Amino acid sequence: MSSVKIANVESHRYGTMLTAPGHNFATGAQILVEGVSGLETETFIVDDVVGSKFSIRRNICVDIASMDPETSIVQTTCPHRIGNTAACVVLQAFDTVAQVHVKQIYEIGEIVDDCSLRLGSWCDVSKVVLPASLSANLARGTLSCERCSVVVERSGSAVPGVATLVNRPHRSKDSCLRDWRGGLRARAIDVPEATQPATQHLRATTPDISVLRVGQAGWNQCNGIFHRSTMGFQNGPLLSIVYSEELSMWCLLADVLPLHPLLCQRRALNLPDWDGPQLLYVRRDLSLLGRWEPVVGPAPGPLVQVYKETRIVQVSSNQLSPIVEPTVGSSVLDFLLNYTEADWRGGLCHGSVWGLSALEAMLLALELWSQMHACAAVCRPWQEALKPHRSLKQICRHALQLPLELGSNLPVPPILSAVIAIATFTSLWREQHLVIQKFSQPAFRRYVWPARVSRIELASELPSDEDGSLDGPTAAVLDRYAGTFSSLLQQVLKDLPLPWTTTPRTAGMATDGDGHRFACCDLLEGIAEQEGPVGLLGMDSEGAIEFWSAEGVKLLPHSDSMLQTLASSGLTLASRSHGWLCHGVEPQPHQTEPSCLCPICAGDGRRCLGASQVAGAQKLELCDPAGTKIELQIEMTLLPFFATSKDPSLVHKILPFLLMSVDSSLQPLLQQLVGELEALALLHQGSAEARDSDDTSSEGQGQVALSESREYLSRYPNTLLFTSHSEDFMNGVCTNIMQLTQKGTLVVWGGNYDQYHKTRTEVEKNQLTKYKKEQDDIKHLQEFIRSCGTYANLRVQAESKQKIIDKMVEAGLTEKPMPDPTYEFSFPDSEKISPPVMAFAGVSFSYSGKKEDHLYEKLELGVDLDSRIALVGPNGAGKSTLLKLMLQQIEPTEGEVKRSGKLRIGHYNQHSEAVLDLEASPLQFLKDLYPEGIVTTAGKKKMEDPEWRGKLGSFGITGDFQTRKMKTMSDGYRTRMVMLLMALVNPHVLLLDEPTNHLDMQCIDALAGAINKFSGGVVLVSHDFRLISQVAKEIWVCDKKTVAKWEGDIQSYKKHLKKEVMKKFKA
């Protein structure tokens, strides 16, 4: 839009701001204003664009009428129009004595009147502006001021003015290429010379602009270079993406006058003045999709992507149309269009609250999810359109900025664990010392959390006799090494597109709580605090803070090679440290809020809220040859751990959504309670809250996690309702058992699981005895009645006996107790193979391949056909990794895993169900999978339908379940199907990773029986102590990079864990 209406004019002593809704003027654009008194017949420069508002500047050049050397006052021939003393002026004149042209820059000491200025000069010694020394020999002078603020009389009134974009003069291609090449060379980007022909054989093609999205860049005005409208996307009037054949690269250009920050970037790169198109960013690839490199535009470059828009089919016209129409005001539909780009971030910036806290983001996600379900329930077309977006897990991960799973070496917290940890932090937002203590607990240490590098700073303490000058000796030391640190860290953190300062210099002073003064040099621009790329922050086994890129590349702590590079620059390492920081602000009295772009912040009193933000920090302290200490501190903000004073009142709002959810991503709700025990109490405030789950409440936890959970929940003062298949867990927690009978009724039993089992057994035994006696009595009475026949003298007795039976029926006969169904799993015997079946010889392993990251070191162990091994140990110790090494799914970093060439392995893990064709029935799936038959000890055997049905029945898949599609079956039935597939392999060794997650108690018992009858070897990873006690002959503890045999049974190991847990509770 080249012309827009001006809705309002606001002026103050430092400038003028116009409000023009719908404008798309970029910073540095030139506009002509009409219809506003005091602003007509002049071209202005747009600056400080904030939504629909922007300030205006002007270039001034006036002739000098006279100069008074004694008073330093300069009079102009016409009004100078300089509105404040914050600007500097350039005086150009002719020296009549020296016969030369002179040019001087002066401060404005005072605006005397419309045609008079008192000039001044800055004194570096006294740090004040002194009267300017003007020569009496100067004549024919001019006074100029570039990009000067505009001050007008009127303010705050609606005006019928219009702002029109001014077309800038055309610049020749040669002059443009000359400036662009200079910028590319300054950025060390290879570019063909002007005389060198283009070597690009393939020609880049411009994609459909309507599908492009240009992300946030270091230059904010680049964001949204293609503006979305109801008709698609429109190119900004002064912004463009073109492919330059001469440069052999894509160029993102802004045809604007260089204001801040472009002007600062040009000066930092030592580029001459240029008022033509500014080369902001380039892409050295035929495809413009991806991350761009900065030239004149500040780092980081934008990420250009294809904009994904959800569309639905209009039933009436059978045409595709956007899911969001301008006439629809639904927040759900608006959310869906921008689903993948929804911005729910927040934090502290310069002591102010902005955006959303993690708890608010989570609540918004849950509300939107609920509304989506409501939309889908009432409209059939919406059901299909909303289907890709109705994953509660996906929405919650997006709200909490949690990445997808990155492997066992980078465990991302499950949704529930993250919510519990955030709720804990929320309750302690004001207690910063307690917050920092929490981050040393397992609840936080076991996972990696999304984080952003928010600050990289060099600092050096000022001696007591040095003032705070930016030109002092301490600042000079920082400036001398700032470039070295910046270049080195850009290599170390190359996987993060951070906003690096082009020429880092000491920019300020700071004082700590003890009164020590420091010179400070920021290596990043301030945008990093809100817009920087996201990585992952975690802790190693020793508690040291580690930082990873989103792709899983380890970036911090600093490597030895980096320290060696610093040493070659003359710096020696004095110390290195790490720790947690908690920044906070206290709530402020309510005040009128300034205008704010953010719809969340506007009108919410957000700037008055108290808040706290957790960050991790890595610090290096080095010394230069003169002994001056330099501190390098890298601060990484933990994105989910930002809470406001408003958040504690929101916790209870999230709970109903969690309880009503049927989405498996938030179930089971009692799992992953390793260190979040206080948080569980926070979530369960009130006299009674329910917990329900489709899976076991202890699924996926290690033995340590279960022990801690069991110990805490056994003391929990309120009501808990949960489902579980872990006998040991129920024995430690339950005071009552609710049995769901096969008839669908609920029976409540007192006591824990053992007491329930004992009492139920006795009750059902007595009930069966009573049932048999009643049936025997009825049988005898009926036999007597039949023996009476038609004899008249016996009819009275027969009728009497029938009345007895009728009264028994009327009073209610005892029902025959229905025992729980039992199953008989079986794994077939396989042929014997000579040992060693499997052996580890000096095996070490790390996912990165680096020795310092070893998960295991120098393992020496073996598995044979008579092995019955249970792997135990804390989460993250590498139990599943050990199984992967046995399966040869991963290769050792050092050493060798030797396996017999005849070895067949039956393997089960939590993802084994992926092998099933859920559209097929179990019977059809087996027939299709084994058309030629199965392997037995006697060779191949062709299977018929009755034999397949027998196999299925032995694993508890009976009746119509054999012919029903597997997608309609529960996880438990699918698990049984996978167990059957393992049996059909005719394995020598079973490797079982958490096999009981979806099995009920009867199936677990059947699995234990099958393992005990199995003639091969077994290696088991399970949290189920009961199963381990039934089948394991050896307990192997995986911890501290080794595997050690536990001298004792699983019960003694359980007592050991309980002892360790009790120590933590007492602490």
Picking from 391-395, 505-509, 613-617, which range would have the lowest pLDDT averaged per residue?
391-395
Helix (H) or strand (E) holding 488: helix 473-492
Q: What is the pLDDT of residues 55-89, one digit of tens each?
A: 999 999 999 999 998 899 999 999 888 877 777 89
Three-state secondary structure call for residue 703? helix
- Best CA proximity match to 847, nearest among 811, 806, 814, 893: 893
Q: How much is the pLDDT for 1040?
A: 84
Q: Give the residue-averaged pLDDT of 989-1004.
A: 83
Question: Facing residues of 116 across strands?
Answer: 75, 113
Q: What is the pLDDT of residues 391-425, one digit of tens each?
A: 777 778 888 888 877 666 788 888 777 877 887 78
Q: How far apart are CA 284 and CA 292, in angstroms?
A: 8
Half-sphere exposure of 1019 (CA within 13 A, CB side): 27
High-pLDDT (> 70) share of the chain, %:
78
Q: How much is the pLDDT for 620?
A: 92
> How far does CA 500 lie from the centroid of its chain?
23
- Best CA proximity match to 838, nearest among 918, 911, 899, 906: 899
Cα–Cα distance list, 1016 to 387, 545, 905, 983, 1007 (Å):
46, 44, 10, 12, 14
Helix (H) or strand (E) holding 106: strand 100-113
| Assigned token pair, 127 | 């740090």
Q: How much is the pLDDT for 655?
A: 57
Q: How far apart are CA 558 and CA 169, in angstroms?
A: 51
Q: What is the pLDDT of residues 519-562, one digit of tens each?
A: 999 998 765 455 667 889 988 877 788 999 888 888 888 777 88
Question: Does pLDDT of 337 surpass 80?
Answer: no
Picking from 13-22, 86-95, 178-187, 335-344, which range would have the lowest pLDDT averaged per residue?
335-344
31: confidence class by pLDDT, cuts 50, 70, 90: very high
Q: How much is the pLDDT for 599?
A: 41
* Region of residue 799 (left: phi > 0; alpha: psi -120 to 50; beta: else): alpha
Which stretch, 416-430, 556-570, 738-752, 854-868, has highest mean pLDDT? Answer: 854-868
Q: How far apart are CA 984 and CA 936, in angstroms?
A: 8
Helix (H) or strand (E) holding 412: none
Question: Does pLDDT of 217 surpass 70?
Answer: yes
Question: Does pLDDT of 1012 surpass 80?
Answer: yes
Q: Give the residue-averaged pLDDT of 1003-1009.
A: 85
Q: Give the residue-averaged pLDDT of 767-771.
A: 87
Q: What is the DSSP letter of 695?
A: S
Q: How much is the pLDDT for 672?
A: 36
Measured CA angle at 924 (ends 918, 930), to 5 deg? 105
Q: What is the pLDDT of residues 773-800, one digit of tens each?
A: 888 888 888 887 777 766 666 677 777 7
Pick the CATH number of 838-1066 from 1.10.10.10, 3.30.300.30, 3.10.100.10, 3.40.50.300: 3.40.50.300
DSSP string, 9-23: EEEETTEEEEE-TT-
Q: How far apart are CA 233 and CA 371, in angstroms?
A: 28
Which stretch, 72-86, 601-615, 932-946, has highest mean pLDDT? Answer: 72-86
590: confidence class by pLDDT, cuts 50, 70, 90: low
Tell which wins on pLDDT, 333 or 483: 483
Q: How much is the pLDDT for 313?
A: 43
Q: What is the pLDDT of residues 856-880, one digit of tens each?
A: 899 999 999 889 999 988 776 788 8
Q: How much is the pLDDT for 691?
A: 29
In 645-752, where does DSSP find H-type helix? 651-660, 677-683, 703-713, 727-733
Q: How many other CB atoms are there within 10 angstroms of residue 755's CB atom?
A: 16
Q: Give the residue-averaged pLDDT of 1017-1029.
A: 86
- Best CA proximity match to 86, nearest among 120, 113, 134: 120
Question: Facing residues of 4 across strands?
Answer: 163
| Assigned token pair, 221 | 């005005």
Three-state secondary structure call for residue 802? helix
Question: Facing residues of 619 across strands?
Answer: 577, 633
Q: How far apart are CA 1003 and CA 1009, in angstroms?
A: 10
Q: Give the residue-averaged pLDDT of 902-920.
A: 79
Which stretch, 146-160, 684-698, 930-944, has highest mean pLDDT? Answer: 930-944
Q: How much is the pLDDT for 233?
A: 43
**Burial class, 556, CB count within 10 angstroms (exposed 0-12 / middle 13-18 / buried 19+):** buried
Cα–Cα distance list, 82 to 76, 100, 260 (Å):
12, 28, 20
Question: Does pLDDT of 344 surpass 90?
Answer: no
Measured CA angle at 429 (ends 425, 430), to 5 deg? 150
Q: Give the residue-averaged pLDDT of 846-856.
A: 84
Question: Does pLDDT of 465 surpass 90?
Answer: no
14: confidence class by pLDDT, cuts 50, 70, 90: confident
* CA-based end-to-end distance of the chain: 66
Question: Does pLDDT of 665 surpass 50?
Answer: no
Cis peptide bond prior to 261, omega within 30° of 0:
yes
Mean of the per-residue pLDDT values of the chain = 78
Q: Which residues contact residue 170 at a Cβ distance below 8 angstroms, ignoring those fewer than 6 apart?
A: none
Picking from 257-271, 360-374, 804-818, which range would have the lowest pLDDT averaged per residue?
360-374
Q: How much is the pLDDT for 322?
A: 42
Tell which wins on pLDDT, 215 or 176: 176
Q: How much is the pLDDT for 199?
A: 43
- Best CA proximity match to 358, nearest among 646, 648, 641, 652: 641
Q: Which residues contact residue 498 at a Cβ distance below 8 angstroms, ignoring those fewer than 6 apart?
A: 299, 300, 453, 456, 490, 524, 528, 532, 533
CA quadruple 993, 996, 998, 1000: dihedral, nearest 10: 170
Q: Give the residue-averaged pLDDT of 705-719.
A: 62
Tell which wins on pLDDT, 425 or 9: 9
pTM of the model: 0.56
Picking from 337-346, 387-396, 751-760, 771-780, which range would have the lowest pLDDT averaged per residue?
337-346
- Best CA proximity match to 1024, nearest among 700, 712, 740: 700
Question: Does pLDDT of 10 surpass 70?
Answer: yes
Question: Does pLDDT of 54 surpass 50?
Answer: yes
Q: Which residues contact residue 260 at a Cβ distance below 8 angstroms, ignoring those fewer than 6 apart?
A: 47
Q: How much is the pLDDT for 231?
A: 36
Q: Give the residue-averaged pLDDT of 198-202.
A: 45
| Assigned token pair, 503 | 């020429």
Q: How much is the pLDDT for 272?
A: 92
Cα–Cα distance list, 671 to 444, 708, 873 (Å):
15, 11, 17
Question: Does pLDDT of 30 surpass 80?
Answer: yes
For the chain, give every domain's residue range: 3-165, 173-306, 320-400, 415-420+428-590+607-644, 667-735, 756-811, 838-1066
720: confidence class by pLDDT, cuts 50, 70, 90: confident
Tell which wins on pLDDT, 679 or 337: 337
Q: How many other CB atoms are there within 10 angstroms of residue 286's CB atom?
A: 14
Question: Does pLDDT of 18 surpass 60?
Answer: yes
Q: Give the residue-averaged pLDDT of 651-675.
A: 45
| Assigned token pair, 527 | 């945008």
Q: How much is the pLDDT for 597?
A: 39
Picking from 59-73, 327-341, 979-993, which range would have the lowest pLDDT averaged per residue?
327-341
Q: How far apart are CA 912 and CA 933, in angstroms?
A: 22
Q: Give the residue-averaged pLDDT of 303-310.
A: 68
Which stretch, 303-317, 482-496, 709-723, has highest mean pLDDT? Answer: 482-496
Q: How much is the pLDDT for 457?
A: 93
Cα–Cα distance list, 859 to 542, 876, 1041 (Å):
21, 17, 9
- Best CA proximity match to 657, nearest among 343, 416, 329, 388: 416
Question: Facing residues of 44 across strands?
Answer: 31
Tell which wins on pLDDT, 410 or 909: 410
Q: How much is the pLDDT for 498?
A: 86
| Assigned token pair, 873 | 């140990």
Cα–Cα distance list, 914 to 664, 908, 970, 992, 999 (Å):
16, 11, 14, 16, 17
Q: How much is the pLDDT for 603?
A: 45
Q: How much is the pLDDT for 572?
A: 92
Question: Does pLDDT of 251 surpass 70?
Answer: yes
